[in-house]
Structure 1
Amino acid sequence: MTRKQMSIGMNILGLGGHSAAWRLGEVPPSALLDVDYFTNIARISERGTLDAIFLADGPALIGDVASQPGGRLEPTVLLTAVALATRHIGVIATASSTYNDPYNLARRLASLDHISGGRAAWNVVTTAGDVAARNFGLTGAPLHADRYGRAAEFIDIANKLWDSWEDDAIIADRERGVFADASRVHAINHDGAHFSVHGALNVPRSPQGRPVLVQAGSSEGGKALGSRYADAIFTTQTTLEDGIEFYNEMKGRARAWGRDPESLKIMPGLSTVIGSTEAEANARCDLLDSYQGEQGLAGQIAQRIGINVAELDLDSELPWDRIGDVRDLTTGSHGFFQAQINLARREKLTVRQLSRRIRSGHRLLVGTPEQVADSLEQWFLAGAADGFNIMPDVFPSGAEIFVDHVVPLLRKRGIFRHEYTGSTLRHHLGLERPVSQYAARRDSRSAA
């Protein structure tokens, strides 16, 4: 029997997972506008037979542009170019269900799936915060429940549009002059609380049937959405105990929706700083931290839990009396909030210690390739993950270190592939190609 294999994605967070990565100068900040920069990381990841590269995104300029490189290329456009420069690796684009419309986005993603030969995925986000809202004529972000209600309807429409052409709809009979069987191209006629969409999509069914759906929310709304619709969930879990609990909860939720739990892949994020020795890894991390400064690191912690950085003492625990419940959080990520709180409380960490255990909102591991491989194997075999979303400290060197020194250890242990055996992202992830819901209904009627 073939041993179960983990999935691994490479999350390209700007110039690196550490916010001071750009100051090391491996590449100029202008690389963020250079397709070759992203193509290089994708090719490195493909050399390591990783499942996919992942691009986070948001429809607003956020952060202090005085101290951080600002500006990002739009993911679906950028990943079209990356897909043409690679052969196997999946390409995952983030797009907001709050600030897009279903028809246009479904068409873009179906186009990306065709262009990539079946390697496209959509990371569904609902986009919290008022900064983005003001770019779309709103004074503030929609309420949490409204964003997730819209997202559920959005995904339902996208799935209908992707299914609106059955796989065998195109006949292309030149002798008879018949291009398609019109009975197998369906208007979806959707009329719901948020959208009215007639359809059908003006792009025939794509190689994967539907692009892979990825979801990253860990709030109650996010977990309900992900367990119902997602093929993969990118989550932030900082302790093994929390990872196992989240994994079991999401598999159970998927089962409650009538899904096979194996059709939902749970992939926690892991920030890495890797050296040939522990001392080398720590020195690399110390150098990056020195650019940002302790107050800068503390500021990231404060932002995630919704308090002022002035309320944090670096050598004390978090001010628990000032921290509310995650349900009271009006801005920011519920998942990042909970992961940070759980880790700090469970291990009674000071703010300074916490800053060395969590980075980019995710668990941080500073160590050797063997230690990273040990951690991935432990979580995978313990039932805390089906795979991982890796966030190296600096690009491209962090990606190269992971691919050249961690991946071979995982292969040797029999828990990661030596080569690609399929051409689509669904195949990499071990997911079935979905049947068009319209074809399924027709077949069901015929059987009856």
Structure 2
Amino acid sequence: MSSITEPKQTAAPFTVGIALDGAGWHPSAWRDEAARPADLFSPEYWSELVDTAERAGADYVTFEDALRLQGAAEPGPDAPAGSRTLDPARVEGRLDALLTASWLAPRTRSIGLIPTVTTTHTEPFHVATALQTLDHVSGGRAGWQLRFSADRASADAFGRRPAPELDIERVFAGEPEAGLDALITDAADAAEVARRLWDSWEDDAIIRDLETGRFLDRDRVHHIDFEGDGFSVIGPSIVPRSPQGQIVVTLLAHAAPIFDLAARTADVVFITPENEAPAAGASRGKTAADLIAEVREAEAGVDRAALGLHPLRIVADLVVALDSGAEGGADRVARLDRLAGVAAAGDARIEAGPAERIADRIAAWRDAGVDGVRLRPAVLPLDLSLIASELLPLLRARGLANPGASEPTPLRERFGLGVAPNRYAARRAPQEVSA
């Protein structure tokens, strides 16, 4: 018998999220006349973007982040540490995603907030407690896009340990790679530590008993006693259990080893179907049905219910450039490609054109079995405004988006994940009954 209460399985609602990154997902987005490059690091800019997404009824927004500059080309193996060649035509630098989400949390009401936070080089205890804080200040709307960092630039920025030796060609081909396996193990351990820490305070641990002078019931606060290959954490968390209990863990995945990681640790996995670009890695050229089958195969090898996890929600990523009154989306992408000197070719498919075409693509993916889409606006704030005014209303009319919530809604509820059981309460309950 499992020591964790198995969650009640619920049907997955079809969700629509917005992925935010600087001036947009096209590398030359900052050069578009509708962009606001001077405002990229201002609080007003980010507040306006998230407010637009919330008023439009999007289920959540994600915030990109990494431990390296966006345009930093990796140096050769013999180059000295710290040597970098930056691309002067790209936006460089980001605001810290977790801090940005935490600042926005009390300024928003209903939308989910999912910052990207890496596990490589960072301390799992600090990551877990910071995410708990975000869940508290947002009233239960926090998520986490887990990411690990394999590149030398990230390792050099921290200076704690060298970057792993990776054969990138093998990684992109989806072939076994020892360096990648080590990163995945490290990320899985970090996620397990976070989940244990999130459970380390039971829901009723704080009693505030004025008569006895006890603020908490210490029997309901637990050490997690985690021992891994790279670190150990005793716990408990310094933050009481947050409104969702278990914060929604998401993961962007392009290859079978990452699908396996998602099956063991995540609630939501982002996939990138129907993209021929090399940046799609092992997902290159695969349909939504192909990738869904791979994810479900990985999921079948894990007893998620015994881990307290619901079935994995699969969300497809799509870069969108919508037609505006002044210019077609395809024309805008072509113009920005000319400015960049190369055609944009990221890890996700680019769909340019009228809202009806983009809705058709989303409908086809929904019919193939995805549980939602995450839209990446090519140019911000322009394409986000068009998503809000044209695409989301159309998706809603076609049953491809939720009606929109004006009241605070836990992010777990938006994904149909339900209430998260507490592993330590489940272990203690039989002892109390027998006593």
Query: Normalising to structure 2: TM-score of the pair?
Result: 0.83
Task: Write 1 or 2 for the structure with the bigger share of helix.
Answer: 1
Write the distance in 2 (CA, Å) between the matches of 1:77 and 1:158: 18
Residue in 2 that maps onto 1:434? 420
> AA paired with 1:246?
L
Shift of 1:277: 8.4
Residue in 1 that maps onto 2:163? 140
State whether residues 288 and 368 of structure 2, in contact with CA within 8 Å, keep that contact through their aligned partners in structure 1: no
Q: 1:241-390 residue pairs with structure 2 within 5 A?
A: 242-259=287-304, 263-275=311-323, 280-293=328-341, 296-297=342-343, 359-383=345-369, 385-390=370-375
Residue in 2 that maps onto 1:399? 384
Residue in 1 that maps onto 2:393? 408
Of the three residues 122, 135, 154, the one matched with 1:113 is 135
Write the distance in 1 (CA, Å) between the matches of 2:299 and 2:326: 40
> AA paired with 2:180?
H
Spell out, residue by residue over 1:263-292, the C-alpha distance to the aligned partner (whole angstroms, 9 max, x if none): 311111101111158972222222222211
Write the distance in 2 (CA, Å) between the matches of 1:365 and 1:194: 42
Q: How many residues align?
A: 384
Structure 2 CA distance for partners of 1:145 and 1:26, relative to 1, 3 Å: same
State whether residues 268 and 389 of structure 1, in contact with CA within 8 Å, keep that contact through their aligned partners in structure 2: yes
> AA paired with 1:32?
L
Shift of 1:18: 0.8
Structure 2 CA distance for partners of 1:139 and 1:259, relative to 1, 3 Å: closer
Q: Percent same amino acid among aligned pairs?
A: 32
> AA paired with 2:356?
E
2:287 is paired with a residue of what secondary structure? helix
Structure of greater relative contact order (alpha carbons < 8 Å, 6+ residues apart):
2
Shift of 1:38: 1.2
State whether residues 102 and 157 of structure 1, in contact with CA within 8 Å, keep that contact through their aligned partners in structure 2: yes
Shift of 1:404: 1.1
Write the distance in 2 (CA, Å) between the matches of 1:94 and 1:279: 32
Spell out, residue by residue over 1:403-438, the C-alpha distance to the aligned partner (whole angstroms, 9 max, x if none): 211111111112311122752111111112211110
Write the distance in 1 (CA, Å) between the matches of 2:412 and 2:368: 24
State whether residues 250 and 266 of structure 2, in contact with CA within 8 Å, keep that contact through their aligned partners in structure 1: yes
Write the distance in 2 (CA, Å) between the matches of 1:278 and 1:32: 24
Write the distance in 2 (CA, Å) between the matches of 1:213 and 1:4: 16
Of the three residues 187, 192, 198, the one matched with 2:234 is 198
1:199 is paired with a residue of what secondary structure? coil
Shift of 1:45: 0.8
**Does residue 102 of structure 1 match 2:127?**
no
1:273 is paired with a residue of what secondary structure? strand
Query: Normalising to structure 1: TM-score of the pair?
Result: 0.81
2:182 is paired with a residue of what secondary structure? helix
> AA paired with 1:417?
N
**Does residue 9 of structure 1 match 2:32?**
no
State whether residues 5 and 414 of structure 1, in contact with CA within 8 Å, keep that contact through their aligned partners in structure 2: no
State whether residues 58 and 404 of structure 2, in contact with CA within 8 Å, keep that contact through their aligned partners in structure 1: no
Shift of 1:445: 4.2
> AA paired with 1:282?
A
Structure 2 CA distance for partners of 1:405 and 1:438, relative to 1, 3 Å: same
2:317 is paired with a residue of what secondary structure? strand
Residue in 2 that maps onto 1:86? 108
Spell out, residue by residue over 1:268-326, the C-alpha distance to the aligned partner (whole angstroms, 9 max, x if none): 11011111589722222222222112xx33xxxxxxxxxxxxxxxxxxxxxxxxxxxxx
Shift of 1:93: 1.0
Structure 2 CA distance for partners of 1:104 and 1:276, relative to 1, 3 Å: closer
> AA paired with 2:135?
D
Q: 1:181-196 residue pairs with structure 2 within 5 A?
A: 181-196=217-232
Gaps of 5+ in 1: 298-354
Write the distance in 2 (CA, Å) between the matches of 1:280 and 1:127: 37
Write the distance in 2 (CA, Å) between the matches of 1:140 and 1:29: 32
Gaps of 5+ in 2: 1-9, 72-85, 166-178, 276-284
State whether residues 263 and 312 of structure 2, in contact with CA within 8 Å, keep that contact through their aligned partners in structure 1: yes
Shift of 1:170: 0.9
Structure 2 CA distance for partners of 1:279 and 1:82, relative to 1, 3 Å: closer
State whether residues 5 and 415 of structure 1, in contact with CA within 8 Å, keep that contact through their aligned partners in structure 2: no
1:61 is paired with a residue of what secondary structure? coil
Shift of 1:104: 0.8
Structure 2 CA distance for partners of 1:438 and 1:3, relative to 1, 3 Å: closer
State whether residues 12 and 415 of structure 2, in contact with CA within 8 Å, keep that contact through their aligned partners in structure 1: no
Write the distance in 1 (CA, Å) between the matches of 2:58 and 2:328: 25
Spell out, residue by residue over 1:164-206, the C-alpha distance to the aligned partner (whole angstroms, 9 max, x if none): 0001111111122111111000011222211111111010000
When the two chains are superposed, the root-mean-square deviation of aligned CA atoms in Å is: 2.2
Of the three residues 146, 154, 158, the one matched with 1:124 is 146
> AA paired with 1:128?
A
Write the distance in 2 (CA, Å) between the matches of 1:136 and 1:232: 29
Of the three residues 396, 402, 406, the one matched with 1:417 is 402
> AA paired with 1:259?
R
Structure 2 CA distance for partners of 1:287 and 1:106, relative to 1, 3 Å: same
